[in-house]
Structure 1
Amino acid sequence: MSVISFATMPIAVLNRKKSSKVQRLPSFFKDASSDSLPTNQTAAKMKSYSVEVTSAGLNEGPVRRSILSPDHVVNNPAEGVATLYDVLQHSVKHYGDRNCFGFRKLERMVEEEKKIKKVVDGVEKEEIKKWKYFQLSGYYYYSYIQASKMAHEIGAGLKKFGMQPGDKLELFASTRSSLYSYPGCFTQSMTVVTAYDTLGEEGLLHSMHETEVTAIFTNADLLPTLGKVASQCHHLRHVIYSGEAKPDVVNKLREEHPHIVNIVHFDELRTVGRENPTEPIHPKGEDICCIMYTSGSTGNPKGVILLHSNLVAAIAGVNRMLEKYVTKDDTIMAYLPLAHVLEFLVENLAIFWGVTLGYGSVRTLTDASVRNCQGDIREFRPTLMTGVPAVWESIRKGVLAKVHASSPTVQKVFQTAFQTKSWCLEKGLPTGWLDSLVFNKIKEQVGGRLRYALSGGAPISPETQQFLSVTVAPILQGYGMTESCGMCALMAPEQFAYGRVGAPVPCVEIKLVDVPDAGYRASNTPSQGEVWMRGGSITPGYFKRDDITAETLTEDGWLQTGDIGEWNENGTLSIIDRKKNLVKLSNGEYIALEKLESVYKTCLFVSNICVYGDSFQPKPVALVVPVESKIRKLAEEKGLEEKDFEKLCQNEVIIKGVMESLIAQAKKSGLKPAEVLCDVYLTHEEWTSEQGLLTAAQKLKRKDINQKFKKELDAMNARQLH
């Protein structure tokens, strides 16, 4: 998923003559300001950030806890805070007049005509297409007092509609300020159900039907999707939407689904609540706060039950690790879907800290999709930001594309600056002078104030993490899953290292359990095994799925993650594999598919990739969705006259060029011979969730991809035999 592209780069800066200061490092350092990244990794290794609290058991290692709370796991971030309702009220009390969240208003849509080139039957033709862009206002803000007032209005409105404590409201919408409506449910002890807005009809129906939702909050443009499944959702009584809905769409929904009592705009719901105030009904810690539907790679999505106490424990754990790094002036960009547990947790963590959230949209995050205004990220200028690896990969490739399009001199200056800053950070030396000379123009593309960024949701390659930590801001890794409320390990700034996910968060304890078939044992050096975790932030189970609950949670409360971990010498954790994605090749060696994909995805030709290993073959192969612009540039460099993209993907010269780049990436990343690809198939079509090839969270549906491309995989494996 390509989210961020860079419209401008520091080319003018890079074209400056090299500063003589670069050649006199020692004297310059005396006056330079320090960078915010404490990346002296040697120093970080000298302290252990977790401690053993038990001895090793049979086929498992000792239990480890955070050094910040070795005697017990933490469950509450502050006295009297036991639910997400309490989190908001805590911040109203302490930070009432501070800005809680900001949002932008749509001023108008700007339409532009563009000429595009299209290849039809091998002939290049020119077409005129109309493109729509957003013109947005600046940010408007609600204080914490105003946000609490709005939440209570929403809760009162839902109660006036007839909803009761324990009733469920589904969020089926993109992230935007009106999604701050979910705390309104907590003012009346109602439960939120989250589902990705990319799930489609089948996924939406499953989540609504299984949880028997009474109300749904959605976007106006998703009302037609809702209309296709509403007849099968007999418990649905209330539809609340944001944005501008076409009257005929609303009327059709009313006419075809008479069991729906109310179809109202978000603002109308607030008005109903304002005119019918009521006392809040406080939830309890053991009440269900949220049922979060995961976008599984197989079968129907599973509803993970998250209690108020689970989410509050997660907030307590992360707060214990990071509170000293957060200031009252910090701001956080909120743009990931709330169906993503990382976004849900971080938003509520931000509320507890009393910092300001800035709501944005993937569609308007950068300048590329807006006109007569700046994109959300440059307009809001966050100091903190979360993202998934696809976001960071997109940033990295955008930067490199601009650099590679520059003159050899510019490229050399950039490379020298990058290597110099990397060395300085490793030694704990100041780097502000390099930012001023080279990197500040890149930093401006994310607002110019970003202090730290957190990556989660999937592994980020060490190469991408290092590149962005040097050029933009420190990229910290976290590790967790929906079942653990997002974070069970987290790299605090003082732990910074590439390729690691950090120490256990103080709300959980972790142990590694043997996976003998793959050679992962807790007794190995370093200790390795499947990650098991336990603590207050762990789900009690899956909604109406006792069978999966029994498979995933042990009787004594351990969550079996399916991820393979490795303890580092400083008590931090690395995730090195996924249990179900281990493949044993014919030579007896195991390869980790997700690990290889994170490495090969850093190749500039790769938009998406699925690595495949056959137990009857000695080497892996790969299916690649290439970056079209890079393929066309390669064709031009090779003197190919072919214009049809599909045919270019099948061209042996192109395939050879991509393979050479992938192999170079493998060598650069230090992959073993058995991990180096022996063949690749380039597919000209993007993989999407609508095709059934990606989950709603944009993760690979490996089984479906392999089935769709079975013929191509078989052909590549057959070539290994000759």
Structure 2
Amino acid sequence: MAQVIEYLAEHPVVAVAATAAALGTTAMMFGGQQPVKPPFSLSQQSVELPGPEHVHVSPLCDYKNGQHVVDEPCYAEVPTCYETLLHGMKVSGDGPCLGWRTSSEAPFQWMSYSQVQAHSLSLGSALMERGCTPSNSTNIGIFSQNRPEWVIMDRACIAFSMVAVALYDTLGNEACEHIIGITQMSIIFIDKAAKLKILLGILNESSTVKLIVLMDGPIPDEMKMDFEKREIEIILYQDLMEIGNNNPHEPKPPSKDDTCSICFTSGTTGIPKGAIMTHNNFMTDIKGLEMFSEGICWMDEHDTHLSYLPLAHQYERLVLYCLMQQGARIGFFQGDIKKLLDDVQALKPTVFPSVPRLLNRIYDKVLTSVNSGSWIKRALFNFAFNKKKAEVESGIIRNNSMWDKLIFNKIQALLGGNVRWIITGSAPLSTDVIMFLRVAFGCVVSEGYGQTECTACATLTAPGDASAGHVGAPIPSCMIKLADVPDMNYFAENNKGEVCFKGPILFKGYLKQPEKTKEAIDEDGWLHSGDVGEWLPNGTLKIIDRKKHIFKLSQGEYVAPERLESVYTQLPLVAQAFIFGDSLKSCLVAIIVPDEEELKKYASKNNLSGSFKELCKLKGVKAAILNQIVTHGKEAGLKGFELTKDIHIHDELFSAENGLLTPTFKNKRATIADYFKDQITEMYRPL
């Protein structure tokens, strides 16, 4: 990262000359570039329907004639997720579909669309030969990282009207056992032999599982014997494929209202619930997104995507169905998150769905590099940034200006240099980071908002909208209203309340849990999100609070810990934060994981020595972080009771692997609180 603008630092004469030239030549900056034309007026991004509920819909719907939502796919010939691959094959001319590589030195290898279709039909035929019924009641498990076989298995299920159900490493044995039991799955696909040991601890005598398919062999002899004792067979993926090749069956495609997937929400507490998602859920969500971005940034056969966000969740699954329908290329990371940027730079994606955690780290590292450089480096970067920011604010999005060639191309190269659309979701992204991404990468940056139960995305920031601090407006395939939350003093008539969704993107319900379904969807068909939103004057939605994970301090003040954590993690010394409060206490405490690189820099400047773990134990480090929290917190407008009174420094990042984060990188609040219960008790003792 220190090389972001190294060339300019090494060539100050060039840098100064470039700055002088820019100061005198405004026309050079714009070069005739036209602003992006938004899909609707940015001053009215949603329309409030008449009536007492204050329901908002997209202006892209024919709401004047009673069309409140769009309930149709993008193409008449693509009514379900089965046809997405066939359509992609047609529009791409049977181009590359799924790609992978075996190491950081190896190039990506590709399967064409027709090869993926052929493999899917062979695998589906093999499942039929092994006794699977082509029915929505047939659930097939997959316990694997993202890879081509994951998609082929999903396509095989879809082709024969079966349902793929994902397990994930971080669920824990109890949750996995629950999912296997409630879905009555008989077959589970796994990627690595190491997962056999996990399954051995999960599958009991009453388990319905009779076959395990291992993608990467060989099968350990001792494991094979252990499973055979339980009358469970283990077979290699390629051997199962051979069965299908020798015994082909005609596909039995689904209808639009059939189940496409059962997505078990990772959750921050309790046993996960299985959200039943239909083909129509996915296809109407795709239609809404396409209407939002068509002609501006919508995907086509020339696009490339790197799949690293978990396919077990709706966000990445939705992205893949979008890309397949459009004939794009989908490459997979190697499976090691530490090599993610290597994979990105090798594949050079054009579409980059991500999460705030990664984007925040890029932002932090670039600004750290700039601020630690020479005055020329800082002055030129800031000047260029402000010039491009002015372009962005006028609606001009590009990566071919003089400033891109001199400065920002080094930043753009971090993501391969070809990114034209960044989509972020799952958690809030600060306004500063969003503007930085739009300027530095010279591309459309969209923030989406939704949840599993509404097919991942219900709102999106409009292309051409340079404002930030909101999650955009309703897409055309859903309606949104805000419901009163009297206990928190939020009322719909004041444009504030709990965010509720309605439309064809809503899930069918939770598998075999009708009582949980009734808790989520009210009698009028509105899905209650648990988030508190506010309608802004331009019709966009801003998330301002949270009903869930809200607690009240002893003096009666409500605290939304996730919002505070997003503020705290903007501090240079803070990588992760967990805020804890108790209704019997008057103040907050926090668990802080420092940013290792920044902490080492701080230590060097302050004559502190030791390893990262040793530095985390120093009182001076704790004091420095507390000081940053107070100073930055006040600048960010936090109230006194929102500033933590004590912190415990932890020297290991929260992760899905150690069980402290969900697979979508959210704090597992109950788990973290239990893990650090002794430290929390100790912090509260003197307070």
Q: TM-score, normalised by structure 1?
A: 0.86
Distance 2:200 2:34 in 1: 50
Unaligned runs of 5+ in 1: 1-5, 107-133, 369-374
Q: Secondary structure at the match of 1:31?
A: helix
- Aligned partner of 2:27 among 26, 30, 44: 30
Aligned equivalent of 2:486:
516
Aligned equivalent of 1:530:
498
Distance 2:573 2:69 in 1: 45
Aligned equivalent of 1:206:
178
- Deviations 1:273-314 (CA, angstroms, capped at 9, x unpaired): 222111111212222211111111111111111112212221
Q: What pairs with 1:629-640 in structure 2 (closer than 5 Å)? A: 629-640=597-608
| CA distance 1:316–1:711, change in 2 (3 Å) | same
Q: Secondary structure at the match of 1:581?
A: coil
- Aligned partner of 2:112 among 143, 168, 175: 143
The residue type paired with residue 184 of structure 1 is: A
- Aligned partner of 2:388 among 412, 421, 425: 421
Contact 1:55 1:63 in 2 (8 A): no
Q: What pairs with 1:299-698 in structure 2 (closer than 5 Å)? A: 299-324=270-295, 325-326=297-298, 327-363=300-336, 366=339, 375-428=342-395, 432-472=401-441, 473-524=443-494, 527-585=495-553, 588-615=556-583, 619-641=587-609, 643=610, 645-689=612-656, 691-698=658-665
- Deviations 1:447-472 (CA, angstroms, capped at 9, x unpaired): 10001111111222223222223223
Does residue 64 of structure 1 match 2:46? no
Further displaced range: 378-387 or 488-497: 488-497
Distance 1:665 1:418 in 2: 23
Question: Shift of the alpha carbon at 1:701?
Answer: 1.8
Question: Shift of the alpha carbon at 1:713?
Answer: 3.4
- Deviations 1:171-218 (CA, angstroms, capped at 9, x unpaired): 210001111111111111111112223323333222112111121111
Distance 2:41 2:282 in 1: 31
Q: Secondary structure at the match of 2:490?
A: coil
Distance 1:51 1:612 in 2: 39
Distance 1:266 1:534 in 2: 41
| CA distance 1:640–1:298, change in 2 (3 Å) | same
Question: Shift of the alpha carbon at 1:69?
Answer: 4.7
| CA distance 1:550–1:301, change in 2 (3 Å) | same
The residue type paired with residue 301 of structure 2 is: K
Contact 1:365 1:376 in 2 (8 A): no
Contact 1:49 1:67 in 2 (8 A): no
Aligned equivalent of 2:240:
269
Q: Secondary structure at the match of 2:493?
A: coil
| CA distance 1:707–1:270, change in 2 (3 Å) | closer
Distance 2:286 2:33 in 1: 24
Contact 1:219 1:243 in 2 (8 A): yes
Distance 2:361 2:145 in 1: 20
Question: Shift of the alpha carbon at 1:534?
Answer: 0.7
| CA distance 1:622–1:367, change in 2 (3 Å) | closer
| CA distance 1:706–1:592, change in 2 (3 Å) | same
Contact 1:198 1:689 in 2 (8 A): yes
Contact 1:219 1:242 in 2 (8 A): yes
Contact 1:242 1:265 in 2 (8 A): yes
| CA distance 1:621–1:250, change in 2 (3 Å) | closer
Question: Shift of the alpha carbon at 1:660?
Answer: 2.3
Query: For this pair of structures, how many residues does the alignment match?
Result: 672
Does residue 215 of structure 1 match 2:187? yes
Aligned equivalent of 2:667:
700
Aligned equivalent of 1:372:
none
The residue type paired with residue 559 of structure 1 is: L
Aligned equivalent of 1:278:
249
Aligned equivalent of 1:293:
264
Distance 1:37 1:211 in 2: 53
Question: Shift of the alpha carbon at 1:589?
Answer: 4.3
Question: Shift of the alpha carbon at 1:333?
Answer: 1.6
- Deviations 1:530-571 (CA, angstroms, capped at 9, x unpaired): 000011110111111112111111122110000111112221
| CA distance 1:309–1:405, change in 2 (3 Å) | same
Unaligned runs of 5+ in 2: none
The residue type paired with residue 476 of structure 1 is: S
Contact 1:364 1:376 in 2 (8 A): no
| CA distance 1:613–1:227, change in 2 (3 Å) | closer
Does residue 172 of structure 1 match 2:143? yes
Aligned equivalent of 1:242:
215
Contact 1:295 1:696 in 2 (8 A): yes
The residue type paired with residue 62 of structure 1 is: V
Contact 2:363 2:436 in 1 (8 A): yes
Aligned equivalent of 1:224:
197
Contact 2:393 2:466 in 1 (8 A): no
Distance 2:629 2:535 in 1: 29
Does residue 89 of structure 1 match 2:86? yes
Q: Secondary structure at the match of 1:457?
A: coil
Aligned equivalent of 1:129:
none
